[in-house]
Structure 1
Amino acid sequence: MAEPAVRQLFAPAATITVVLGLLGLNLANHLLGWDSLWLGPVGALALIAFARASGLSWRQLGLARSTHAAGLRWGGGVIAAVAVVYLVGVLLPATRSAFLDVRYHLPPASILLTAFVLIPLGTVLLEEVAFRSVLWGMLARHARMWQVLLGSSLLFGLWHVIPASASATGNAAISSVFSNLGAYATAALIVGTVLFTAVGGLVAGELRRRSGSVLASIGMHWATNGLGVLFGSLAWRLAF
């Protein structure tokens, strides 16, 4: 049997291996307390190495040089759009409270470190390589594109189950929304977080599909998280 045929035969097993590996990385980060600043890059490199060994090309991974320009254009456009939305949200008193997250009530140096180092290396790199590069490429070998988009997005939502509770304790606006649910507040927060991040995964996945590059979804992911920190800091300064 030819080597490509062998790889195709074991493609589902390789996909399951990636999913189990992501589960392990998630548990190591949130339950074992491993430092995501090194776990993110190491995990991303390990996933790419496994994907390449499994027969995925750079194009299948959304990392081909020929797609970089399109990825940067789409990613840059999304960053600009998110910046405008966040700016309006922070400047309007009615929506400013949504940005008042105590995790980002920090000195300027810490804000810059979080937005430009911790989030890109500790969060965005691993999650985009995992869901819009490696898992995407794995699923595309034995599923239709709409299934790839939905499957990767649902798993991306489930990836956020464990850290979901942090949103309730850190953000007053989120806490107030779920506080009236009593005993069901935690469950509602987790479900809401999974659905919200799954929708975000759909948008990121569509950007990756249209551009052919994971750089587009990286731009969106950093914009929503990194710019959220920067504009959250601005919101705290405007609130007092």
Structure 2
Amino acid sequence: MRIVVVVFVLVAANLLNNWLARGPYAYVLTCATATAVLLLIARWDGLTSADLGLDAAAVRRGLRWAPFLAGAVLIVFLLLLAVPAGREAFRDARAVDLSAGQLMWRVFVRVPFGTVLLEEVAFRGVLWAMLRRRYGTAWATAVSSLLFGLWHLLPSRGLNRSNTAVATAFGSGSADAAATVAAAVVAMVAAGVILCELRRRSDSLPAPAALHWSVNGFGYALAWAAPG
């Protein structure tokens, strides 16, 4: 029952973010509010901060992982930018059209306090801990990763029109959107598995959060800077 309530909160937040309350401030407010509700549900379920990977020791472990994860992501991205084929992945209208101020907002506010906060607390924190306690680690990773993939159904619409590499791979027409969304969901399921495994190995929620922010934050920054 409580897992169903968590899923209901996530569905509501997803609809708000993608259909109803789409402004930048509304997005962060929705994510922060949903995160607070999910943490209350976790407490209702009897989960501790250690179960969520958020106790003091877990936070310290996560902070030790963070610079290595961020450095690894940055190196991979810079290597991709060094070759023409990889550079196509950074040609994204969602970042290129941003002003410098908007970029700072995305990288340092919207991504960490909106996207990463909600998604990590939801999928690698509350859901993963609730499922793990009931069904074990493998089921927790599988189910939370599947839901993480489905979470990206709505945000993936139009991806083939904004990103050059995606358009090259799948086409940029409206008829190609379904294949693009399906591929994005599968990719996000795989990303969810990686993040869950990092959560398990580090025994810390800040570790996958650091990786998540690094991918999104550096991705925006380099996509914005690459055309110049």
TM range (shorter): over 0.9
1:166 to 146, 158, 172: 158
SS at match of 1:236: coil
**What's the CA shift for 1:54?**
1.9
1:15 to 3, 6, 20: 3
1:107 to 94, 99, 102: 99
Q: 1:182 to 1:33 in 2, by over 3 A?
A: closer
Quick check: 2:156–2:181 contact (8 Å CA) kept in 1?
yes
**Residue number in structure 2 paired with 1:52:** 43
Cα distance in 2, alignment partners of residues 75 and 143 from structure 1: 29
Q: Which digits, 9 at most, give the CA deviation of each residue in 1:181-207, with x for residues without a partner?
A: 983x22211110111011111111111
Cα distance in 2, alignment partners of residues 182 and 21 from structure 1: 30
Give the partner amino acid of 1:96. Answer: R
**What's the CA shift for 1:141?**
1.8
The answer to whether residue 117 in structure 2 is matched with residue 129 in structure 1 is no
Give the partner amino acid of 1:110. Answer: Q
TM-score scaled by structure 2?
Answer: 0.93
**What's the CA shift for 1:180?**
8.0
Cα distance in 2, alignment partners of residues 92 and 130 from structure 1: 36
2:207 to 188, 212, 216: 216
Q: 1:180 to 1:233 in 2, by over 3 A?
A: closer
Quick check: 2:158–2:177 contact (8 Å CA) kept in 1?
no
Quick check: 2:81–2:87 contact (8 Å CA) kept in 1?
yes
Runs of 5+ in structure 2 lacking a partner?
Answer: none
Cα distance in 1, alignment partners of residues 94 and 145 from structure 2: 26
Give the partner amino acid of 1:30. Answer: N
The answer to whether residue 4 in structure 2 is matched with residue 24 in structure 1 is no
Q: Percent identity?
A: 37
Give the partner amino acid of 1:233. Answer: W
SS at match of 1:219: helix
SS at match of 1:164: coil
Alignment of 1:37-48 (within 5 A): 37-48=28-39
Cα distance in 2, alignment partners of residues 131 and 57 from structure 1: 16
Cα distance in 2, alignment partners of residues 232 and 180 from structure 1: 19
Give the partner amino acid of 1:164. Answer: S
TM-score scaled by structure 1?
Answer: 0.89
Runs of 5+ in structure 1 lacking a partner?
Answer: 1-12
* Cα RMSD (Å): 1.6
SS at match of 1:63: coil
**What's the CA shift for 1:119?**
1.1
Give the paired residue count: 224
**Residue number in structure 2 paired with 1:6:** none
Quick check: 2:120–2:208 contact (8 Å CA) kept in 1?
yes
**Residue number in structure 2 paired with 1:5:** none
Cα distance in 2, alignment partners of residues 189 and 94 from structure 1: 19
Cα distance in 2, alignment partners of residues 116 and 44 from structure 1: 18
**Residue number in structure 2 paired with 1:97:** 88
Quick check: 2:9–2:34 contact (8 Å CA) kept in 1?
no
The list of structure 1 runs, each at least 4 consecutive aligned residues, that deviate by more than 3 angstroms after superposition, is 180-183
Give the partner amino acid of 1:192. Answer: A
**Residue number in structure 1 paired with 2:221:** 230
SS at match of 2:217: helix
